[in-house]
Structure 1
Amino acid sequence: MSIFGDQMLLPTTITVAVLQAGHGVSGVGYALAAYTAPLALFVIFGGVIVDWFTPVRVMVAADIARLIIHSALVVAFAVGRPTLWVVLMLLALSGCASAAFQPGFGSLIPRIAHDVQKANAAIRVAESLATVAGPAAAGLLLVLASVPVVMAIDAVTFGVSAACLLALRLRIPHVERQVSLRRDLAQGWQEFRARRWLWSVIVVFMFFQVTVNGPFMTLGPSLITIEHGETALGVIMSMFGVGAVLGGLVAARLRPRYPLRAGAVALAVGGPLVILVVAMRLPPPILAGGYLMDGAASAFWLVMFHTSVQTKIPSDVLGRVHAYDVAGSVVMRPVGQVVGGLVALSLGAVPVLYFSSVMFLVTVCLLLSVPMIRNLPRD
């Protein structure tokens, strides 16, 4: 529910709202960055808080905070045209709350699921459906209602999320210990660093964000829009969510002996293809097929990776370790987006996309070249 609300707000509704408020395209960019930057910067501290107070308590607090923050955003747009700094401040606060929610989400799953892999697969399917349905619902509602109404629906989804979490009958024993932010951050880092397979994956994906994902997120949709229009872009992008549903369903069934190896092979099959079909400027049906395969491969990899993390990290430090995972995975994406855009200005978008497709294969080879990733057994 909260992901559905996020997909309604970001980027669809907030883009329309900021433009209607007269802050221009640059204002939209600042608004999106105002949400993403605090998430990347503070998620590590969120992991410490989760391990201090247990996941459910922190997640409920984060949902209530986002309900209040997004309600304030509703009021700001309902009474007039808010200044840009008000919008940026509220979105930044929402990003901080999300930074506390994400580590709790990752560390909660192994506490409530007997079969962690199936649970991750089910969650991936649900997230994919929300990713497809959220922007579609926002687009429809923006035709029928005003921006504050859509924002209000987004705010309510956090209340629903908190209610669902409160309904969990989960008993996590409280461990008395001296609270020390510096010590607990260091302990989380030590647990993260001690697992070579884990930090190796994150280092490889930092390279992936700069050379593949960041440039493709910037150039792919832009090229499709120029070639085929906004309507075609919406349909093509939605096929990524459909593919992710299929990938999640497959991941619920398959039990590879070496999950990260299987996930990397899936990425090699589905990932470079979507970049190539965009670079070759192929017709929309083929582009849609490429995005579908990419969504399936990405979902399969994520289920294999998150299941490995959640079954091999002790629960009392899982929140902090998951936070380092999220921070490392996200922090280099904006760099890739900026670099990809700048290089495309000089060389053109198509050469950059061809380069990214090759780097995708390099990423997979790097993953498979590390024995502790390639040979990590299923727990």
Structure 2
Amino acid sequence: MIDSTVLRPPFRGFLAARTVSLLGSSMSSVALALGVLGATGRATDLGIVLAAGIGPQLVLLLVGGAVADRFSRRTLLVHANLGAGLTQAGVAAILLSGTFDLLPVSLLAVAHGALEAFASPALRGIVPELVAPEDLHRANSALSLSRNVSRVAGPALAGVITAVAGGGWAVAADALSFLIAAALLSRLPRSGRVSGARGSLLPDIRAGWREFRSTTWVWVTSLAFFVVNLANVGPWQVLGPTLTREDGGDAAWGLVLSVRAAGLVAMSLLMYRLVLRRPLRAGMVAAAFGALPLFALGADAGLPVLLVCVFVGAMGFTVSGVTWDTALQQNVRPEVLSRVSSYDDLLSFGAIPIGLLVVGRAAAEWGARTVALAGGVAFVAAALVPLLSRSVRDLRATPADRGRRGSPSAR
């Protein structure tokens, strides 16, 4: 269980806001897919709506990071959640009206993605403002638990609401969750960190890039996660369901996802208690275990072996995520943290659409299981090669004085 040393105001309110918002978003992802497909029956339309949300998020991430470092992260998050609530309410209204139109839904998805681009860097940057440096590891573990539980509960709840009342009501619940989150976030204390800078954001974005590229352990690890996402997400999401069905029938993929969720939740609980003196060393080693499901799929190891690999791999993902967030928050200066995070997110997550686009053609050319095995090899290499850098393997989780974050001794 999680004790109360970290779960106290103001972090308690932030955790509650994130939990409500994540639960709503987990519901909405399922409900939106069912709603669009139910309205048009065309998978292409769903792809357009999803792409409309992802595109602006990637394009505007660097701007979002600069804004989050310049202004109050609390205020930015309140407005982003209010805006997200309105966009989702618009989508819900269209679905509930029974007169689906692809254009307005896509435009609302564009607006929602743009708001996410501003919220994402602020979310990582605000945590050090709410807890003491020595509590960052446990705070990130609690946030990881919230995120993973929401991923389990959200789709199940969305399925029930959609079956009883329709997908539009599940999207409406997501809209309400954003509004509740905005109300909770508005109660957080105002930060005294606002720079008050004026004028173009371009110099701020450039300064963020200089900080990112000059901090070796940051760009090395971010580049590793780029390769990890490129090698893993496409084969797992596109090839995984088909190969799993071959191993265990139609119900196997659902079982695999359930076991994966259990691994994510279990490790989130364990991470709250663990103390890691060198977080990146432990995180990258643990991340390598995330490749096990790809090896199981590629080797046609059978469903029981795959389930074990999925559980262990999910635990590895959780360790790497918590340690990475903590390392950034403890060792990057607060005034540039959101900008550095935005470059990390852009590099890491920019690989996902690339992988999703190329994996089908690669599987047709070389075979699905061969692609899965190759992805596993690339995954392990990407996770472990950064450990050749002393700045990565020796980075300590010492809650050093905030004025010293990002100093040469930390790199």
Q: TM-score range, shorter-chain basis?
A: over 0.9
Specify which of 198, 211, 219 is matched with residue 239 of structure 2: 219
Name which of 271, 287, 292 aligns with 1:273: 292
- For 1:69, the aligned partner's letter is T
Q: Describe how 1:1-379 pairs up with structure 2 within 5 A.
A: 1-10=20-29, 12-114=30-132, 115-225=135-245, 227-268=247-288, 270-379=289-398
Query: How many Å separate the matches in 2 of 1:80 and 1:15?
Result: 15
Per mean C-alpha deviation after superposition, the further-off stretch among 58-67 and 133-142 is 133-142
Separation in 2 of the partners of 1:230 and 1:87? 32
- 1:222 and 1:139 map into 2 onto residues whose CA distance is 22
- CA-to-aligned-CA distance 1:180-235 (integer Å, 9 cap, x gap): 21111111111111101101111122222223333322211332245545543223
Indicate the SS of the match to 1:248: helix
Q: Residue by residue, what CA displacement relative to the aligned partner does 1:298-343 show, whole Å, maximum 9, x if unpaired?
A: 0111111110001111111111111111111111111111111111
Distance 1:92 1:293 in 2: 36
Percent identity, aligned pairs only, is 28
Shift of 1:99: 0.9
Residues 48-82 of structure 1: per-residue CA shift (max 9 Å, x gap): 11122211101110000011111111111122232
CA distance in 1, matches of 2:304, 2:185: 40
TM-superposed CA distance for 1:365, in Å, is: 2.6
Contact map agreement 2:225 2:383 (CA 8 A) in 1: no
The whole-number CA distance in structure 2 between the counterparts of 1:265 and 1:81 is 51
In structure 2, distance between residues paired with 1:302 and 1:132: 18
Structure 1, 210-219 or 103-112: larger mean CA deviation? 210-219
Q: Secondary structure at the match of 1:178?
A: coil
Quick one: distance in 2 between partners of 1:157 and 1:98? 15
Name the CA distance, whole Å, in 1 between partners of 2:92 and 2:246: 33
The one-letter amino acid of 2:120's match is Q
**Contact persistence 1:8–1:137 (CA under 8 A):** yes
Contact 2:71–2:196 (CA<8 Å) still a contact in 1?
Answer: no
Q: CA deviation at 1:172?
A: 2.4
- The CA RMSD measured in Å over matched residues stands at 1.7
TM-score (norm 1): 0.95
Contact 1:216 / 1:356 at 8 angstroms: preserved in 2? no
Partner SS for 1:21? helix
3-state SS of paired residue (2:334): coil
The answer (yes or no) to whether the contact 2:228–2:383 under 8 Å persists in 1 is no
Measured in 2, the distance between the counterparts of 1:212 and 1:78 equals 36
Residue 7 (structure 2) aligns with: none
TM-score (norm 2): 0.87
SS of the residue corresponding to residue 144 of structure 1 reads helix
Change (3 A) 1:350 1:174: closer
Unaligned segments of structure 1, at least 5 residues: none
CA apart distance, 1:283: 4.3
In the aligned structure 2, how far is the partner of 1:230 from the partner of 1:82?
31
Q: State the 1:107 CA deviation.
A: 0.3
Answer with 20-29 or 105-114: which moved more.
Answer: 20-29
Which SS does the other structure have where 1:75 is aligned? helix
Q: Secondary structure at the match of 1:326?
A: helix
SS of the residue 1:357 aligns to: helix
